[in-house]
Amino acid sequence: MNIKLLNSNIADINADILVEFLTSQELASHVDVRVLQQAGFKAEQDSICFLHEKGILFSGIDSKHSDDIRSATVSAIKALKASSYMSARLSVINNETLSALIEGFVLGGYEFNTYKSQPKEIHLKDIFFASNALDFKVIENTFHDAMIVAKATCFTRDIVNTAPQEMHPQSMVELAKQLAKDNKLGCEILQEKELEEEKMGAMLAVGRASIHGSALIHLSYKPANPKKIISLVGKGLTYDSGGLSLKPATSMVTMKMDKAGACGVLGMIKAASELKLDVEVHAFIGAVENMIGGNAYKPDDVLVSRSGTTIEVRNTDAEGRLVLADVLTYAQDTLKADYLFDFATLTGACMVALGQYTTGVMGHSSKLKHDFSKAGSKSGELISSLPFNRHLKKLLKSEIADISNTASKPYGGAITAGLFLEKFIHEDMKNRWLHFDIAGSAYTENAWDCNVYGGTGAGVRLMSNYLKNI
């Protein structure tokens, strides 16, 4: 599906159907109000109505706010894809909502058909955006940037949705190498031998029972004279069986999504390089598969992390934090960054706290959390802060090691996981680090907003907005 922006009047564009957004107030004075009312169309949010004889698709919106536009656009693209129309045209409402329009069409129209032997044929080929505004250059720049971010989000979704027999740690390494080649990024790979040399005992333990070797991936985007240096860390559990603390069968389905943090970080650096941001970005990924076998790590094991901190294992299904502990330490030891952000499908407890749509953000800096709250509002991603406190930190106490990998009580699980990671953040980075738990927001089995079944690409739009405005 091709999406084009034209410096033209909408009437001068030749397309099969016109898409028009209407509020209930606009409907009341519309030239086609009687026909639309006869069809039962009330311009309610996300409702649609075809007037085939006039070649118009009406989509209802509560307001001209970006969130309403994005959601209504999703309804429109679904209706268009189900029709036999080959092209559509619509007017750009304003520069502020243009990104929402693009996200609605690109992300709402996304499909992952790699494993379909006979994917459904889609007739829709072209969508034309019309604008002859005096500030067309500004609109053109917004269109360009929004398309980059939307495509990077789809890139992320594709990796998340790829089946685990194909997307294991070593194939993630190859994918990262290809991205580095395509986008002219720096690329460094640490395989198990190098991981042993770096004394990354926690990460190596998690992947020990897999036939696929674990790897640390480091991609770098380095523009001239960057404003800031940002380190992004992603949890790349290409599959999580739970290890010897085996997940129930029903909980194991969808665990290909446990790599969504790593996939998101790849999408973020892809977007940053294509947007040509004047911010230096480093992506650090721990690519690991948590499986079972005779050499699997066990509850009661004591692991020695890269930092030298010893970790008592109480549950092998709390594996992501073990991988991140070593990758976070490596990232800090090898690069002096201004900010450090990690993304991980870390805890089901985050979904209990915030629901399945919202990313949990944790850290010590109120300013950073506020900045990301604004980026979330502008990008359309839902985030909410979960507070650290010293009483929950006590639950990670171990009698035989420096720290336990799970809390002694089943309360505040998302926060205690964040506090575990905080143990591995250097003192000078405490106020320059945030942890994003995307366990709920990274994958969905029910469509919502511009997210269809499968990976959502959580974090890519959020981080792209933050980096553009840093």
Three-state secondary structure readout of the chain? CEEEEECCCHHHCCCCEEEEEECHHHHHCCCCHHHHHHCCCCCCCCCEEEECCCCEEEEECCCCCHHHHHHHHHHHHHHHHCCCCCEEEEECCCHHHHHHHHHHHHHHCCCCCCCCCCCCCCCCCEEEEECCCCCHHHHHHHHHHHHHHHHHHHHHHHHHHCCCCCCCHHHHHHHHHHHHHHHCCEEEEECHHHHHHCCCHHHHHHCCCCCCCCEEEEEEECCCCCCCEEEEEEEEEEEECCCCCCCCHHHHCCHHHHHHHHHHHHHHHHHHHHHCCCCEEEEEEEEEEECCCCCCCCCCCEEECCCCCEEECCCCCCCHHHHHHHHHHHHHHHCCCCEEEEEECCCHHHHHHHCCCCEEEEECCHHHHHHHHHHHHHHCCCEEECCCCHHHHHHHCCCCCCEECCCCCCCCHHHHHHHHHHCCCCHHHHHHEEEEECCCCCEECCCECCECCEECCCCHHHHHHHHHCC
**247 part of the active site:** yes
Known catalytic residue at 374: no
Question: 199, 247, 393, 423: which is the annotated catalytic residue?
Answer: 247
Name residues whose C-beta falls within 8 Å of residue 73's C-beta, 6 or more positions apart in sequence. 59, 100, 101, 103, 104, 105, 108, 450
- If one counts every other C-beta atom within 10 angstroms of the C-beta of residue 224, the result is 6
Q: Which of 321, 432, 461, 468 is catalytic?
A: 321
Q: How far apart are CA 149 and CA 152, in angstroms?
A: 5
CB 357 within 8 A of CB 448: yes
Q: CA angle at residue 154 from 164 to 248, to 5 degrees? A: 35
Q: Match 């800090």 to its residue by tokens.
A: 332
For 388, other C-beta atoms within 10 Å of its C-beta total: 17
Catalytic residues: 247, 321
